[in-house]
Structure 1
């Protein structure tokens, strides 16, 4: 297989990948997995244990959150850096790889921001609710 060298920007940085469409789905997927893990754990806990000490449930939700938030923040930070690389024109009028990269970076950054808020709202339920009822 002939592999072409990765083109570099004028500052010697690696040029971003042309196809970043999958990058947009990472943060919402991590939030969805976090959401399902939290509520499935709560459903099983409340069905099997019922009333009593909810501290282990809250600790498990905290562990899920400690895993999910850094991933979402990393994707958002990387997307923001990808969006701010160069001097992006805000109206994306041209269909070229640079505009696509900036658009995908901006979209992934916004979805990451929304996923952080959604993850925090999911955790807020477990902080504020004190029983399985």
Structure 2
């Protein structure tokens, strides 16, 4: 475990890392609306292949949690205490990792709230 966290701390956090959680949320949101439109057009309800929807939701949540875990490990990189206002590599890494962790939390909640209507709404009226 120590080897994995050391490897993750050595990785650079970039803006590409930062956009993974909200992009997963956006893709899940688009997937949810397309799935609902197809279900309502074909079957008149949400009963047709619900495992596909739950699989897509689980995949989005796994990607978001993985990005959040990487961000937590990188945010705990040893260095000066916050605020991270210096222009050093460690401060930039910790700032971007902290922002990625916050976006991962927000994206996780967004995916859960996007999936809730499928649980509670069973028809297309």
Question: What TM-score results when the alignment is normalised by the length of structure 1?
Answer: 0.81
Q: Does 1:100 align with 2:92?
A: yes
Q: 2 CA distance for matches of 1:56 and 1:64?
A: 15
Which has the higher Rg, Structure 1 or Structure 2? 1
Please say if residues 88 and 102 of structure 1, whose CA atoms lie closer than 8 Å, have aligned partners that are also in contact.
no
Unmatched tracts of structure 1, length 5 or more: 1-12
Deviations 1:65-118 (Å, cap 9, x if unpaired)?
111111100000000110012145221221111100000100000000000000
Per the alignment, residue 75 of structure 2 pairs with: 83
Greater helix share, structure number? 2
RMSD: 1.5
Q: Does 1:25 align with 2:19?
A: yes
Unmatched tracts of structure 2, length 5 or more: 1-5
